Structures are given as structure tokens and as C-alpha cells.
Chains A and B, each alone.
Chain A
């Protein structure tokens, strides 16, 4: 079946511009996550959506970062006034969120490589 998809696959932008990254989760997955992967580093958690609950935004690095999700479908991550340090691969993941204690397997998309000049 279809996996997690992300668009665009690559985005080059100028410092100060706003960008929008899109994630289409696996159908039926109620949980959606955004992570950032900087060059040579592990993934950093950004934000987590679960159904209609308030999102967990604890990983967003600044107020320039925001994300939305429509129901249990598409999510967009928006970065305003981009800075060079925002250059990274942004990964989206989704899961069924079926385990009461958490720890569900997260399925990752291929990522969006963002380059801020």
C-alpha cells in the first residue's frame, strides 16, 4: 500500500522567505510526527499530532515554525523568515497510535531537503 509521502522532495529558498512543507500520512494513521535531520546529526522531534487532541509542539525550535493538520490527513509544516540554520531534511512519520502506552511503530516518508541560501 501507499506509504508516507512528502512534497517537495527538495526546496531551495532564500534567507527570509517563508516555506511550506507537506506530508501525506498513511491512510488510517491517526498520529503524525515531524522531525528535523541536520547534516551529520540524528533526528530531532518537532511536533506531534494525535487525532483531535492538541498537538505536542514541544520540539519546535522557535516561533517561526508552525504546523497544521486537517483531521487525520495532510499536514503542512511552515517555516517563516527562513534562516540558514533551518537547512536540513524534514521528515514526516505516521503511526496507528493503537498502543495505549505509546511506542507505536512510526513509518517515515522520504523527507524534504530544505536549503536556505
Chain B
């Protein structure tokens, strides 16, 4: 069965520092990959997605992610973090059948001023 692993439960970075959130998936073929962000009291908002083509995907709010098939990874990056980026980030994979998404357990990002 497909699975998504986000190895970092909590990450703290200073404002202005770079950020990388890790995501690894388990699936036999090329999956469709997503990153969502959840701010307190808010629903999930899509940051970016990868279906095919260019393995470096640009998203909203200055985020990007790179699909690396050899590493089964889809890490999320941002060159300079803002205090408003503090939130929980979820990686998800769609692998066909039922159109449901399988989510990782999330990474809680804290930004120090």
C-alpha cells in the first residue's frame, strides 16, 4: 500500500533562514504529489503539486518542491522564511483508485523572530 513519511514532526527556523521539509513516499509508479499547509483554525491550503514534467515545481507563497524519483522524495523548500509561514505542512500522494489522498503525519513549523 502507498504511504507517505514526513520524518520531522517539528522544525524551528529563524525568520529569513532557508527551509526544507522532507517527504518520502512509497509507491511503485510515479505518483501525483502534493504539499498542503494548515494554519491554526484554517482548512488545508494547496501550496503546490507535481503530476509530471519538470521535477522542480513552483508554488504559492514562494515555496517550491523537487521530485526525485531515485530517492522517492518530494521535499518542500523556501529560500527565506517569513514569520507568517508558521503552520503545519502536509505532504500527500494520490496514487489512483478512489481519488483519495494519502497524507503524511505533518511537520509543524515554528518561526523564531
Contact = CB atoms under 8 A, between A and B. Distances in A.
Interface of A: 3-4, 31, 33, 35, 40-45, 48, 50, 56, 58-59, 91, 93, 95, 97, 101-111
Interface of B: 4, 6, 32, 34, 36, 41-46, 49, 51, 90, 92, 94, 96-106
A31 B99 contact: yes
Nearest to B91: A42
Nearest to B45: A108
B43 A102 contact: no
B105 A42 contact: yes
A27 to B, nearest CB: 17
B44 A59 contact: no
Nearest to A101: B96
Contact of A102 (B6, B41, B99, B105): B99
B25 to A, nearest CB: 13
A117 B41 CA distance: 21
Contacts of A103: 32, 49, 51, 94, 96, 99
B43 to A, nearest CB: 4
Contacts of A111: 43
